[in-house]
Structure 1
Amino acid sequence: MKAIRLIFLAGLACAAMAHAEPITLTLAHATMTTHPAHLAALQFARRVEERTNGQIKTEIFPAAQLGSENEMLKKVKLGAIDMDVSTPNYMIKYEKAFAVVVMPYVFDNYEHAHRVLDGPAMAWLAPLAEKQGFVILSNWEWGFRNLTNNQRPINQPGDVRGLKIRVPPVAEVETTMQALGAQVSKISFKDLYAALSQGRVDGQENPLNVIYYNKLYEVQKHLALTRHVYYNTVHLISAKSWAMLTPAQQKIVREESKAAGDGMRKKIIAEEDELIAKMAAAGVKVTRPDLKAFRATVEPVYQEIAAYTGEANVQRFLKMVEDERKK
């Protein structure tokens, strides 16, 4: 009888979904259509539409068509855009605790980062984001950030000193580069390729997939695998949009968000060696510095981050990091 009742209830849920008014959700992101993030967005849209029998469609706006990263996130908060694929550094504006995620040299590897961010960090940060109007559906990928430049190979921290490096408008990344002795520049990302080719800056730092898919390697001579900061991305939906969905629809949206994010993770991690090889074949000189020296050089950055986000937040996060490291 219990099994029959469950089947009956499932049938009622499907019937209710089938007769509900169709919904079209907007999903914005800043990456190019060749990037794994866009492929993940396409997968998410297709699977949600299939599983809801066409009741939820997703209109995707790639390549920052709906504004800058900050502008898109603000629109999600207001409900003007339903969903966004953003990075934690943009969430810092709304909740300071997110600053801990982008501390330098916190994670040992991808697996370690995923255990922390999918587990205890998500349980802590997701409710804080929801108070600000954002529902975090799942973590997607971005990658470890690496350093490129046109002046010299980088093998030790001292090699960074004096280089003019473009950084995103993120205090934690800026402070990390300054600790290594770089002169930082905050040129917008859309102007970065031109700035590198014209010599207005010596270099920049980004994950390998960003360097490759945005063709930044075409105007850079050296790539150093410094892996100085790990970035994930978060697939967000406006709390206002989330409230429009039925519990059954919410379950599907969350499940397909995670499935798309898992696929993106696998692709980005699996292709890193291939991207390095492709850039090397194009003439980029690749170095693999000893990261222990870099980690020691940027240790003072932790105190600066603690002064901004709070010592308690830093210690709470570092405990999560250490607990997951032991597993």
Structure 2
Amino acid sequence: MKLTNIKKILGLIIVFSLLMTIVGCAKKDEVTPEPTPSTDVETEEPLAEEPEEPAEVIEIKLAHYAEIGHPADLAANEFALKVEARTNGAVKIIVYPANALGTPDEVLEQNILGTVDMSLPTQGHLSKYSQKFSTVMLPFAFEDADHVYRVLDGPFMEWASPDLEAQGLVFLSNWDWGFRNITNNKRPINTPADVAGLKLRTPPEIQLQAAMEALGANVSQIAFSELILSLNQGVVDGQENPLSVIYYNNVFEAQNHLAITQHVYNSMVNVMSKEVWDRLSEEQQMILKEESTNAGNEMRKMMQEQEEDLIGMLEEKGMEVTYPDKTLFKDMMQPAYDRIAEYAGKENVEYLLKIAEENK
């Protein structure tokens, strides 16, 4: 091959190599576009917003006298939970059971004065401020629990609740406490004659004293805190109370005989300070009313379901149970009615008996 041809070929090779180098450098300088995110990739969920804290938390002290574990205490704690949940923590009810803040009368007085926000007095406690409430405890005024509820939840509270407002209290709902029955250490009670001569303890309410004295009993007023000791020491032969009180306070340890007389009914009444009530919004007031009624109805249900069970449990504890004819006892109550009318007002007694008859 001629030298000139070889030189031409070498020249072409050099030119080609230079061109390839230039192209490679150009490609390195190109900007690679960012990849587009795939729509199949899960994106992180935004964090859920925490519920806002209420601007103001209203704490309500609810004091009552029932023992821990009693249906009233269970209902009170459920009431507190429901109110706090439905108000998103803006209203908190703190429950003080078993006379933790004082006796029932002391707690009601504190409620009226505003140092306790809410309480569960009976009609007997409320009667010190309105004589209308004392008529509920007329002996043998009601046939059964359903009869009681028709009267108390309807015409009675329409008649009596304005008297609570005059004391600075707001009526929320009726709860329960139950019919009262007699226990003693001397003998079974089958007729009114079996009550005659017994030394019986009653609370200070005139209705209970009058009913027992109309049957011929010798009545003593003894503080409930001293009751068991008084029974054990023979200061009194017996006492009268609802079945739940007899069981939950271990009265059976000091008594042999139980008579299902159901001579007087009384119940807890859920009331609260109007000053605290007025601090609540309309919605919060509605919630308190609704949940108080729900709690009261739940307590009533528990009390009724427990009645037969409690009698059986008291029998297991050694008590002899009798079921006297209540009409024989009611026939002896006129002296009691006369005494109660002097205390509560004749017109008040007549009105309670009227609405009781109309709602049988």
- TM-score interval (norm. to shorter): over 0.9
Q: C-alpha displacement at 1:299, in angstroms?
A: 2.3
Please give the alpha-carbon distance, in whole angstroms, between the structure 2 residues aligned to 1:199 and 1:188.
15
Aligned partner of 1:48 in structure 2 is: 83
68-77 or 296-305, larger mean C-alpha shift: 296-305
What is the identity, as a one-letter code, of the residue corresponding to 1:229?
V
What is the identity, as a one-letter code, of the residue corresponding to 2:295?
A
Equivalent of 2:56 in 16, 21, 33: 21
Please give the alpha-carbon distance, in whole angstroms, between the structure 2 residues aligned to 1:203 and 1:288.
17
Equivalent of 1:297 in 320, 326, 332: 332
Please give the alpha-carbon distance, in whole angstroms, between the structure 2 residues aligned to 1:83 and 1:107.
28
Aligned partner of 2:27 in structure 1 is: none
Tell whether the 8 Å contact from 2:54 to 2:89 is kept in structure 1 after alignment.
no
Please give the alpha-carbon distance, in whole angstroms, between the structure 1 residues aligned to 2:137 and 2:192.
19
Helix, strand or coil: the match of 1:204?
Answer: strand
Q: C-alpha displacement at 1:302, in angstroms?
A: 1.3
Aligned partner of 1:68 in structure 2 is: 103
Q: C-alpha displacement at 1:174, in angstroms?
A: 0.6
Aligned partner of 2:152 in structure 1 is: 117
Please give the alpha-carbon distance, in whole angstroms, between the structure 1 residues aligned to 2:335 and 2:213.
11
Q: Does 1:104 align with 2:178?
A: no
Equivalent of 1:206 in 234, 237, 241: 241
Residue correspondences, number = 309
Cα deviation digits, residues 79-109 of structure 1 (max 9, x gap): 1000011101011111111111110000000
Q: C-alpha displacement at 1:176, in angstroms?
A: 0.7
Q: TM-score, normalised by structure 2?
A: 0.84
After TM superposition, the structure 1 = structure 2 runs for residues 193-232 of structure 1, keeping only pairs within 5 Å, are: 193-232=228-267
Please give the alpha-carbon distance, in whole angstroms, between the structure 1 residues aligned to 2:158 and 2:339.
25
Please give the alpha-carbon distance, in whole angstroms, between the structure 2 residues aligned to 1:232 and 1:118.
12
Q: Which 5+ residue runs of structure 1 have no aligned equivalent?
A: 1-16
After TM superposition, the structure 1 = structure 2 runs for residues 30-179 of structure 1, keeping only pairs within 5 Å, are: 30-179=65-214
What is the identity, as a one-letter code, of the residue corresponding to 1:31?
A
Please give the alpha-carbon distance, in whole angstroms, between the structure 1 residues aligned to 2:128 and 2:114.
17
What is the identity, as a one-letter code, of the residue corresponding to 2:297?
D
Q: Which runs of 4+ in 1 moved over 2 A?
A: 17-20
Please give the alpha-carbon distance, in whole angstroms, between the structure 1 residues aligned to 2:266 and 2:228.
21
Please give the alpha-carbon distance, in whole angstroms, between the structure 2 residues aligned to 1:78 and 1:161.
42
Q: C-alpha displacement at 1:243, in angstroms?
A: 1.4
Cα deviation digits, residues 101-153 of structure 1 (max 9, x gap): 11000000000000000000011111111111211110001000000000000
Aligned partner of 1:8 in structure 2 is: none
Aligned partner of 1:308 in structure 2 is: 343
Tell whether the 8 Å contact from 2:151 to 2:355 is kept in structure 1 after alignment.
yes
Q: TM-score, normalised by structure 1?
A: 0.93
Q: C-alpha displacement at 1:19, in angstroms?
A: 4.2
Please give the alpha-carbon distance, in whole angstroms, between the structure 2 residues aligned to 1:135 and 1:218.
39
Helix, strand or coil: the match of 1:86?
Answer: coil
Helix, strand or coil: the match of 2:229?
Answer: helix
- Judging by fraction of residues, say which structure has more helix: 1
Please give the alpha-carbon distance, in whole angstroms, between the structure 2 residues aligned to 1:202 and 1:107.
27
Please give the alpha-carbon distance, in whole angstroms, between the structure 2 residues aligned to 1:251 and 1:43.
17
Tell whether the 8 Å contact from 2:111 to 2:272 is kept in structure 1 after alignment.
yes
Please give the alpha-carbon distance, in whole angstroms, between the structure 2 residues aligned to 1:133 and 1:296.
39
- The sequence identity of aligned pairs, in percent, is 48
Please give the alpha-carbon distance, in whole angstroms, between the structure 1 residues aligned to 2:249 and 2:287.
32
Q: Does 1:261 align with 2:276?
A: no
Larger radius of gyration: 2
What is the identity, as a one-letter code, of the residue corresponding to 1:176?
A
Please give the alpha-carbon distance, in whole angstroms, between the structure 2 residues aligned to 1:103 and 1:79.
30
Aligned partner of 2:281 in structure 1 is: 246
Q: Which 5+ residue runs of structure 2 have no aligned equivalent?
A: 1-51
Please give the alpha-carbon distance, in whole angstroms, between the structure 1 residues aligned to 2:128 and 2:54.
40
Q: C-alpha displacement at 1:20, in angstroms?
A: 3.6
What is the identity, as a one-letter code, of the residue corresponding to 1:202?
D
* RMSD value, Cα: 1.1
Helix, strand or coil: the match of 1:194?
Answer: helix
After TM superposition, the structure 1 = structure 2 runs for residues 183-198 of structure 1, keeping only pairs within 5 Å, are: 183-198=218-233
Change (3 A) 1:238 1:156: same
What is the identity, as a one-letter code, of the residue corresponding to 2:308?
D
Aligned partner of 2:272 in structure 1 is: 237
